[in-house]
Amino acid sequence: MSQCIVETRYGRVQGYQQGEICVWKGIPFARPPLGTRRFRPPEPPEPWTDVRPATAFSPMAPQVAEMGASMVGAIGAERVVDPRPISEDCLYLNIWSPAADQGKRPVMVYIHGGAFTIGSASDPWYDGASFAARHNIVVVSLNYRLGILGFVYLKELAGAASGYSGNCGLLDQIAALRWVRENIEAFGGDPENVTVMGESAGAMSIAALLGMPAARGLFKRAILQSGAAGDLPTGAEATRVAQALLTRLGLDPSQVEALAEVPLEALLKVQPELGQEFGGVRAFSPVIDGETLPQHPLAMLAQGSARDVTVLLGTNRDEWRLFALMSGGVQINEALLKRLFGDSAQQVLALYTAAREDHSPEFAWIDLMSDLVFRIPAIRLAEAQVRQGAPVWMYRFDWKSPAFGGVLGAAHAMDIPFVFNTLDVGLSRVFTGTAPNRQALADLMHASWAAFIRNGNPSIPGLPEWPRYDLERRATLIWDETPSLAEDPQGELRALWEEIRLVS
């Protein structure tokens, strides 16, 4: 077995041979964010002198295990508590490469999802082996701080000179991208040809990175799956979450420094309570702090913050089905509908209902929520980039899973194992079942993403002509058993949102 030893800026790492590729797991890209480094921006790793083993994933970022189990349990699968360890010492990355030969291959850096509170780069359906072996791409995946540890905003309580940041999770991602820029050539990658890719909270992270000055120049392309620039808290809003955290821990605002000593278990205990009080994902998400993220990402994009970044993005046809199942079923929120559309609220729901073949108000509500949270933010990000002259490609994933009697449809996260070609790992089988048409679609989608990572264009043989997205045709590739191209799909529903403000 080859040792796959590589020299990095910080010391040598030893991976292992897996078939025809080399794999490294658990390479530190920052110092452990422990003690006084808790809640502060990441610092470069300490150099080492011996050869460092890099053959096992690092612990996951601290998270509440039950939250991940609830997603699987909601669709009727067996609920299994994740046995993988968690630790605040979690800032590590993993690499899959055809060879550590300075071959200047395209690089894909993956940012995992999980509502900014769960998930890990070690989740099996994010395995990068197929991209490396089949498409000659170097794949990097990374952990970043989640929940309270990654996104609580303490700067206004502690003062600007305190060194705190509310976007530690994003700064972790930027630190990993800097590490890639400095080191990936030794692993066979091209630091000038980096694509950053993410799904859900990972894609929302990338939307924020597109507007963050510290991220400029660290990647050439971006793939955003089922996540874009949604409603983000301001510093004032995020400060209220921080104040509530201190109160629940029996601390007052003058005791921010004491948070460094609070046991991890105590933080994880109050995290779900804060999430419930402050609106779920919004409690622990990127914050518009005026510094690391100066303005909302869409405002930054409108100023040209990422005009040189080529973008591939899209959503799944039935995104909200997963969340409806997790909450016990469809519940039409009349107050939200009224807040969005005013006196036209019922007319809008009627239009969504009429647009469905089954004329189901419940599924119409799922369509509306899918648009609110996922599709319309993606379209607005695409529009912002198009106006800057950046190349943009849009898709929609329509393949409906037969698993669990078809209740998932083309739900949130259904696209992940098709993109990574990891249909046969545990969670992928739970989501996609055993339909015989799965692999042919995965082969196409996997190759299309690889083409975009390589040269910035997802068009490949076997697909219909896929033009760039513009504000007239709005060409969108529909991924289904037989892929097709649509112009402005669900356009009459998209138009309903043109005057609706999605961000506060």
Known catalytic residues are: 200, 319, 412
Helix runs in 284-360, H state only: 297-302, 321-326, 334-341, 345-354
Q: Which two tokens stand for residue 65?
A: 């295990």
Place of tokens 């550590």: 100
Q: Which residues contact 216 (CB under 8 A, 6 or more apart)?
A: 305, 306
H or E stretch covering 93 = strand 92-97
Let me know: does 62 contact 114? Beta carbons within 8 Å.
Answer: no
- Please work out, in degrees rounded to the nearest 5, the angle formed at the alpha carbon of residue 138 by the alpha carbons of 388 and 92: 95
Distances (CA, A) of 159 to 55, 163, 167: 42, 8, 16
Across 221-309, where does the E strand assignment appear?
221-225
Query: CA nearest 152: which of 262, 60, 69?
Result: 262
As a whole number of angstroms, the distance between CA 426 and CA 258 comes to 41
Please list, residue by residue across 164-198, b when 16 or more beta carbons sit within 10 angstroms of its beta carbon and e when fewer do. bbbbbbbbbbbbbbbbbbebbbbbbbbbebbbbbb
As a whole number of angstroms, the distance between CA 278 and CA 270 comes to 12
Let me know: does 155 contact 289? Beta carbons within 8 Å.
Answer: yes
Place of tokens 């070609």: 421
> Running DSSP on this structure, what letter comes out for residue 457?
-
